[in-house]
Amino acid sequence: METTLIILKPDAVQRSLSGRIISRFEDKGLQIVGLKLMQISQQLAATHYEAHQSKPFYAGLVRFMTSSPVVVLAVRGNGAIGIARNMMGATFGSKANPGTIRGDFGVSNSFNLIHGSDSPEAAERELKLFFQPGEVLNWNRASETWVYDMSGGKPE
């Protein structure tokens, strides 16, 4: 099972889309194992986006991500990183397919509603930035055997 970081960005929170977006992950069968509303500090945004520091959009991105509260989630499931990224859709809402989060809720080429870790290594790093020890929980869902075929001993 993979655990990935999802951030519902300031535009998603300001547009009151958080519940609808979270429901999509749960409807898909992914498990929410961490969730909080928070204001990202300048330092946290700078650390999170340090790989983009030399790019022209960096300052605007940090300003945007610190402009309003965000919702951060730890989402778990078999192949959760790839599933979540497919659900998010193309980076720009104007280019994202209908049926994806960005395709259904976004039109902007600047505001793109959601962030999701792009690899297991990124997920591990990012989850540690946004969640303290003990804030990402391990718990058994009663519906787990109805989400995954467990007859072979592992989730399929």
Residues noted as catalytic: 115
Cα-only R_g, the chain: 16
Task: Please provide the size of the chain in residues.
Answer: 156
The candidate with the shortest Cα–Cα distance to 28, out of 79, 64, 62, 66, is 79
Cα dihedral value 12, 14, 19, 22, nearest 10: 30
The CA distance from 140 to 143, in Å, is: 9
Residues 6 or more apart in contact with residue 43 via CB below 8 angstroms: none
